[in-house]
Every structure is written in structure tokens, then in C-alpha cells.
Structure 1
Amino acid sequence: MGIFTEIFAWWTGNTIGTRVFTWRKGVRVGEDDLGNSYYKERNGPRRWVIYRTLAEPSQIPPAWHAWLHHTVDVPPTEEEYRPRPWEKAHRPNMTGTYEAYRPPGSTLRPDVRKPPLDYEPWQPR
């Protein structure tokens, strides 16, 4: 993002105030696959994230979420973790996009012409 966006765009969550605070008091801990950077306070308990794009909390993977909320003390970059075979890869919230879940019968579902009926409607003779 450009410097102009950092100064005036609060909705990105990455304003000039955040940059100054991070520069003065932050220590970089790591980065996730999406490009988000994670920091902690030098002499304090505070932890935060600087998003690569828009500030969308659903972009934080579960391992980093646990670290940010003090569920675990060790950041994911310092531990060797292998996901279990049944674990799915992290996927951000898709609400409001074309990939959002559309249940059967939804008028927004593009591949369904007529909603499926689980009953037989009454027809007059």
C-alpha cells in the first residue's frame, strides 16, 4: 500500500499511527501464507497483526489466531507443527463473494433453475 493510503485510509487497519507504534514498540514475530505480518510488544503482553490487504480478521489462520489471543505462548514460526490428515486448509470468510455458500433452493444459486421441493404441492383440478 502507498503512503497516501496509510495516512488517510483507516479501514485498511494500517495507518501511519500503527506504523509508528510498530516501529517504536514492536518486534516482528513472523508472517503467514497470506502475507500478514505479526508483531509483539518488546516489553509487554500486547500482540497484533498488520494485514497485507484490507483488515479482514477472517484472513488470520487458526494457529496465528491462537497466538494473538494468548491461547498459546509459542508463535507458529517457532514450533514445528504438522496438520492432521483430517484438518482442512484455512479459508477466509467468503460471505458476500461469489464463492459464498448457497444452500439448495437459494435464489442466488446459479446452477439451480427451480428450487428442490421436499413436498408435493397441491394442484387444483
Structure 2
Amino acid sequence: MKQFFLKLFTWWNGQTFGTQLWTWRFGELVGQDEQGNRYYRTRGGAIDPTLGFERRWVIFNGNAEASRIPPAWHGWMHHVIDVPPTEINYQPREWEKPHQPNLTGTPRAYRPSGSTLASGKRPKATGDYQPWTPG
């Protein structure tokens, strides 16, 4: 029962009931990435008349976070390339790094040196600030 209500009311942990129904009715599985995300398009690559191109979507394996889409699939999802990575022999570039989750709001988030969250105390002012005063 809990899973039913989660599918009905939440979008951030997999697919909703509406997305599941749409995918079953109109979707065609194109492939899956190494994280278990599944990629779909309109059945037969049909062009959506309201958009002027085919619809493409992803069903995330776990939390829905856009940064979890690998570079090869990102290009296909955004219509940069027409051929999905499953149909071509995609080799990642040497500069492509593995996925790291978005750490915003966690203790491991990036905190620059001037941030009060970085070390607990703010560094002294350097004296180069001139406040504005009305003229």
C-alpha cells in the first residue's frame, strides 16, 4: 500500500503512476546506463506534433537527480545526437569523470575560504572595502 501511495504522490524516487502509465502506453525502451537508469522515447521514434520532435525521457533508478545522467545519454536526451549510445560504440573521453552526487546541503558540500560554514570563523577584513555613502 505504501508503494502505491509513493508512486501516486511522489516524483523524486523513481516514476509516478502517471509516468508509468505513459511509459507503458507510448514508450519504447532505448537502453539502460551503468547506474540502472532506463531511457525511453516515443514508440517508433514518432514525432510529437506539439513539440516537433520525438519525446525522450528517463526513469531514474532511485532518486531523481539530473546530474546522474552520464554524458553519452545527456547528449541523446537533449537531442544533440540522434543515435542513442546503445546503438553506437560510445567510448568516454579521458577527461570525463565518474558521477559524483550533488553534495549541496550536506557536510561534504563545497565551502569557499570566506564562508562562515568553512571553518566556523570568518577571516578578518583586509581593508580594501569602501562603503557607499549617500552624497
TM-score by length of 2: 0.71
**Are 1:5 and 2:6 matched, yes or no?**
yes
Q: What is the aligned partner in structure 2 of residue 90 from structure 1?
A: 99
Q: What RMSD over aligned residues (CA atoms) do the two structures have, in Å?
A: 2.6
**Are 1:56 and 2:65 matched, yes or no?**
yes
Q: What is the aligned partner in structure 1 of residue 83 from structure 2?
A: 74
Whether contact under 8 Å (2:40, 2:57) holds in the other structure is yes
Say if 1:87 and 1:51 are closer, same or farther in 2 by CA, change over 3 A: closer
> 1:113 Cα shift?
5.8
**Are 1:19 and 2:28 matched, yes or no?**
no
> 1:39 Cα shift?
0.5
The answer for unaligned runs of 5 or more in structure 1 is 121-125
Whether contact under 8 Å (1:62, 1:90) holds in the other structure is no
> 1:90 Cα shift?
2.9
TM-score by length of 1: 0.76
Whether contact under 8 Å (1:12, 1:54) holds in the other structure is yes
Over the matched positions of the two proteins, sequence identity in percent amounts to 55
Q: How many residues are matched?
A: 119
Residues 26-67 of structure 1: CA deviation (Å, up to 9, x unaligned):
111111222211111113211101112222222212221111
Q: What is the aligned partner in structure 2 of residue 41 from structure 1?
A: 42
Structure 1 runs, 4 residues or longer, greater than 6 Å off: none
Cα separation, 1, equivalents of 2:109 and 2:120: 18
**Are 1:104 and 2:113 matched, yes or no?**
yes
